[in-house]
Amino acid sequence: MAIKDEENVEVLHAFFASVFNSQTSYPQVIQPPELEDRDGEQNKSPIIQEEAVNDLLRHLDTHKSMGPDGIHPRVLRELVEELAKPLSIIYQQSWLTGEVPGEALQKPR
């Protein structure tokens, strides 16, 4: 099961990296389902609000195991007040610059 999870992580990483990199061979016309039917809104930059990140962190299932980042959901949930603002800034900058955060934010291998 761990191998399948790692393969899933790699597939998702490749997809999201392709969205931010115009020189990849992955098609960039793929949109998440909730964005497909919005006329004209796809060209607008979203604003990633601290409150939205806060809400997502508060609703993490603490009974699940840690993700590929090596951080258990319970830790993220308990540190929501400290993490929501910096994460929202990181996500917003990532969206605006078109760059996925570097290795400093990734789990060491």
pTM exceeding 0.85: no
Looking at residue 57, its pLDDT comes to 94
User: What does pLDDT average to in each consecutive run of 10 residues of the chain (109 residues)?
Assistant: 70 69 49 50 74 93 89 94 93 86 62
Question: Collapsing DSSP states into helix, strand and coil, what is residue 45?
Answer: coil
Residue 24 sits in the same domain as residue 76: no
Helix (H, G, I), strand (E, B) or coil at 27: coil
Are 33 and 84 members of one domain?
no
Which domain does 100 fall in, by range?
Answer: 45-109
Q: Where are the alpha helices (DSSP H) in the chain?
A: 2-20, 50-58, 73-78, 80-97
106 and 62 fall within a common domain: yes
Show the tokens assigned to 68.
């590929």
pLDDT for res 82: 96
Structurally, how many domains does the chain consist of? 2
The H or E element that residue 72 is part of is: none
Q: Given this model, what pLDDT does residue 24 score? A: 46
